Amino acid sequence: MLSLHRRRSARKTTPARITAAALIGSAATVATLVATDIVPVPSWALPGVDVASHQHPGGVSAIDWQAVAASGQKFAFIKATEATGYVNPFFSTDSFKAQEAGIMPGSYHYAKPSIGSARAQARYYAATLATGPQPSLPPVLDLEESGGLTVAQLQQWVREFVDEIRAQTGRDPIMYTYYSFWIDKMGDTTEFSHLPLWLAYFSDTLPDYIPGGWDEPTFWQYSDSGSVDGIQTKVDLNEYNGDDAQLQALAKSSPSGTMVGDVAHDLAPVREATGEEAQVANKIEQATGVDIPLTNDFLMLLLGVAGGRIPPEALIDQGAKELEKQARDIDTDELAAQGAEMAENAQTAGGEAQAAQAKNKTASGATGAAGAETGAKAASPHASANAQKESRSHTKKADNSRAILSALTALSGALKDINANGKEIPVDALLAVVQKSPNGIKVGDLLKLLQTFEESQDWNAMLSNGQVEANPNALQNLAQIATQVKVAPAGTPLPPEAVQRAISAAAAH
């Protein structure tokens, strides 16, 4: 089972205000604290936030980035990766939405020195950055765990990560850490003082002594329990020690000749798209075809592989995590709500027939059945509600997983047909459609678009009719077939006739 980390683990134990008692580790440390004066942050510093999947409660609630911007936030660091096994499913969409709202986007990698090498983690992080916006703030090494390494070993680990992320992105990273960690676990080394510092120090003021040889932090995280318009949960609050011009100057694009830079160059036509393709996605009827939405992040990965910009392993690894989340979250919410209301009325009136009607109405959705069972409890007062809920959850996930695997098999079939006939696909134009579609694109709609490139089997119809089997290797097959796609030259638009046929086909249903 994939574990989605709700917040940075260090926050669970770090107090709101760091005190001498919390930082005691050596006589030198105590002496430093006793002698410490405090310096207030400049009044002209710029405010910003850092977010992760925790800021999307329930895995579905969106961040209103326009409201975040209106509240005065100037930058946002968005969690990208952790170790070599976790990608924030909201990284790409949050990053682009923040950028479109006028907020400077940044990212961070939560380091796990006990899991995998530093270079492997840096490459994993860089592969995810390749799907993010440019320009952006420098990559961030979020260092809060030692992983049981000695001071010398951890210093070497950091040294290798910095070297590798620089090679992959062409940029020096920002070092995120908290006050006592750098002193105790990194030996207060000054080796990395040439890098920008993002210091976690939960207080109203900064300490006079900044560890690690830094004169001052570039970013200061002063709270982990702030409130910001547009974000439904508590959120980390930060200040940038500079003005707007300096913040803009800090944000750059990765240069050509680096993995991230080359991908950014290839995606330039997508970022410069006028939005004409976005109108296509809005016109296509979303209620037709198979009702399985593909998240923007998954489609970005798929089209990235098709365009030769991202290795197929990234789709297999990161895409699997996206799809596992979907298998848990796909729901018939409207039917569930209606069923719950009908069942409640049935319980109030003692009407077993109405409860049965509610159960029938919601039978197509596992969660909908939960509403009907409210009215059925009177007939079986000793039934185990928890056991029934768990059973429904397993059934729902299994059904959703089969549906997703069938959908991926259909996508593979459509791409395979196009490849076999040597047709080119305007990947950049499709990427623009995805990027401008906040709610993602459903499988049926994508299959309709793909069919317009090559008259072949109607994979959407076959999928809708249950004629496509759920292949357990569907994701691996899709990744392999995507690498064989012939890509139309950058800037090639979607063929007008293809767009019109897709819209007409959708409207006909």
Peptide bond into 135 cis (omega under 30): yes
d(CA 504, CA 509): 9
Stretch 152-166: mean pLDDT: 98
pLDDT band, very low/low/confident/very high, at 27 (cuts 50, 70, 90) = very low
Confidence of residue 209 (pLDDT cuts 50, 70, 90): very high
pLDDT in tens, 305-334: 887 777 787 777 766 766 666 666 554 343
Q: Answer whether residue 292 is part of any domain.
A: yes
Residues 163 and 295 in one domain: no
pLDDT of residue 317: 74
Residues 6+ apart with CB under 8 A from 452: 495, 497, 498, 499, 501, 502
Do both 434 and 494 map to the same domain? yes
Residue of 370, 376, 371, 359 whose CA lies nearest to 396: 370
| Rounded-to-integer distance, Cα 156 and Cα 409, Å | 45
Is there a single domain that holds both residue 187 and residue 171? Answer: yes
Higher pLDDT, 173 or 29: 173
pLDDT for the residue 175: 98
Please indicate, yes or no, whether the overall pTM of this predicted structure exceeds 0.85. no
| pLDDT value, residue 142 | 98
As given in the structure block, the two tokens for residue 137 are 């703030």
Nearest Cα neighbor of 270 from 303, 225, 308, 235 is: 303
Place of tokens 């560890």: 211
Are 422 and 273 in contact by the 8 Å Cβ rule? The answer is no
What does the DSSP 8-state code read for residue 440? -
Residue 71 has pLDDT above 80, yes or no: yes
pLDDT at 442: 73
Question: Is 454 a domain residue?
Answer: yes
Is 423's pLDDT higher than 70? yes
Same domain, 429 and 314: yes
Domain count, the chain: 3
Same domain, 403 and 386: no
- pLDDT value of position 342: 38
In a domain, 2, yes or no: no
Predicted pLDDT at 377: 38
Count Cβ atoms below 10 Å from residue 408 Cβ, excluding itself. Answer: 27
Instruction: Give the model's pLDDT for residue 6.
Output: 28
List alpha helices for 272-377, DSSP H.
276-283, 296-306, 312-329, 333-349, 352-361, 366-376
Mean per-residue pLDDT over the chain, rounded: 73
Q: Domain boundary residue among 393, 425, 443?
A: 393
For the CA atoms of 402, 408, 413, 417, the dihedral, rounded to the nearest 10 degrees, stands at 170
Domain identity same for 245 and 286? no
**Can you tell me the mean pLDDT for 471-483?**
86
pLDDT at residue number 300: 72
Radius of gyration of the chain (CA): 25
Please check the confidence at residue 194 and state whether its pLDDT lies above 90: yes
Would residue 11 count as lying in a domain?
Answer: no
Per-state percent for the chain, helix, strand, coil, to nearest 5 = 50, 10, 35
In a domain, 28, yes or no: no
176, 326, 321: which is closest to 238 by C-alpha?
176
Q: What pLDDT does residue 58 have?
A: 77
Task: Give domain status of residue 314, yes or no.
Answer: yes
DSSP type of residue 132: S
| Residue 57 burial class via C-beta count within 10 angstroms: exposed 0-12, middle 13-18, buried 19 and up | exposed
Phi-psi region of 352 (alpha: psi -120 to 50; beta: other; left: phi over 0): alpha
- Alpha carbon 22 to chain centroid, angstroms: 33
| Of 368, 393, 418, the domain-final residue | 393
Give the CATH number for residue 51. Answer: 3.20.20.80
Tell me the C-alpha distance between 303 and 312, whole Å: 10
Domain assignment present for residue 25? The answer is no
Q: Where are the beta strands (DSSP E) in 203-316?
A: 206-207, 219-226, 235-240, 293-294
Show which residues are catalytic: 50, 142, 144
* pLDDT (tens digit per residue) in 252-269: 998 989 988 877 666 555
Indicate whether 214 and 320 sit together in one domain.
Answer: no
Task: Write out the residue range of the structural domain in which residue 169 sits.
Answer: 45-263
